[in-house]
Amino acid sequence: MDAALAFKRWLFRLRGPETAPIVLTQRRVFVLPTRPGLLYAASLGVMLLGAINYNLSLGYALIFLLTGLGIVAILHTFRNLVQMEISPGRAEPVFAGETAHFRLTLFNRRSDGRYALALRLGENRMVTTDVPERAPATVQLPLATACRGWLRPGRITLETRYPLGLVRAWSYVEPDMRCLVYPAPEPNAPPLPLAGAGESGGLRSGRGTEDFSGLRGHQPADPPRHIAWKAVVRQGGIGPLLTKQFAGASAALLWLDWNDLPPTFGTEARLSRLTRWLIDAQSEGLVFGLRIPGKDIPPAQGERHFQSCLEVLALHGEEGA
């Protein structure tokens, strides 16, 4: 099996993740007839036997014309794929169980368009696109996720059967790209442990929801209920969004601690519950920190802090995390 895999990787020029840009040279594009192409060739063979048997001059002319058409179709199918340039894009993080989307940019170096290019990731359905002359085209390839951590797409198939569908030209690429998969949030997790928030076991003073103290610029992590809609209306709806600030003692400085979870929980169950609590704390605008074995993230707020905590959970236990 190892020898067969090694031969396959040598034959199709597969040497692991490739740096961008990836150019499909002539040695990387393979061509074989399709089923309609084989039927087409068989039909020409039968027609040739009939023309020879009955000595039909017009039959010879028709057969040679159709044969030339088939040969030209092979050339055009090959040219539709060769010298295509592929560059990987960014893959947005997702939660385990969701579908990751890997973005690829195809750049056409030639002065004629590329048509009916199909891309497939693993056993997923084909994604078809056209690439204009001397211009890029972007496609997104879906891939289902099951486990947390870094997800690499692996080998991607590019193929085309343009223009007549008689032959299939294809190539394999393996871009150096990856997608971060967060742990799946626990669906029925208990509420946030606000009763134990803070170092002293109670609530900390900070930005609360009791006394209005002013306005500030809106941030993506701010709860929608804190947006100063009246101020937006006074500006005619064209000014920047503003967020209300409150002063009081209702804002909890929350620690989400690995050791506070039930001892019967395994690693993945703990990560799943902490993920759910992170999402809830972020949606409620709380100041929260995270403690897991080997990693402490100080309390903070905002989208960047939220993403950092999720990344720590996603990579927990992996080498180099």
Please write the tens of the pLDDT for every residue from 170-224: 999 999 999 999 999 999 888 888 754 544 333 443 444 455 556 666 666 566 6
Residue 63: what residue type?
I
pLDDT band at 96 (very low <50, low <70, confident <90, very high): very high
Provide the percentage of residues in the chain whose pLDDT is more than 70: 78
Provide the percentage of residues in the chain whose pLDDT is more than 90: 61
pLDDT at 138 over 60: yes
Residue 271's SS3 state is helix
pLDDT single digits (tens) 28-81? 999 999 999 999 999 999 999 999 998 888 999 999 999 999 999 999 999 999
The torsion of the CA quartet 52, 56, 62, 68, rounded to 10 degrees, works out to 40
pLDDT at 238: 66
Lowest mean pLDDT among 61-75, 76-90, 245-259: 245-259
pLDDT at 151 over 90: yes
Residue 151's SS3 state is strand
The CATH class for the domain spanning 2-182 reads mainly beta
For residue 133, give the DSSP letter. T
Q: For residue 45, which phi and psi values (nearest 5 degrees)?
A: -65, -45
pTM score:
0.75
Give mean pLDDT, residues 277-301. 91
C-alpha 122/C-alpha 66 separation (Å) is: 36
C-alpha 219/C-alpha 232 separation (Å) is: 15
C-alpha 308/C-alpha 221 separation (Å) is: 14
pLDDT at 273: 95
Which one has a higher pLDDT value, 106 or 236?
106
Which one has a higher pLDDT value, 88 or 241?
88
Buried b (16+ CB within 10 A) or exposed e, 157-192: ebbbbbebbbbbbbbbbbbebbbbbbbbbbeeeeeb
What are the Cα distances from residue 182, in Å, to 185, 258, 276, 283?
Answer: 9, 17, 11, 17
Domain boundaries defined on the chain: 2-182, 194-314
Residue 199 tokens read as 């170092």
pLDDT at 214: 60
pLDDT at 19: 83
pLDDT at 320: 53
Burial of 153 (C-beta count, 10 Å sphere; 0-12/13-18/19+): buried
pLDDT at 112 over 50: yes
E-assigned strand segments in 29-98: 30-33, 84-88, 94-95
In whole numbers, what is the pLDDT of the chain averaged over residues? 84
DSSP assignment of 197-222: -STTSSPPPEEEEEEEEEEEE--TTS
The torsion of the CA quartet 220, 222, 223, 229, rounded to 10 degrees, works out to -90
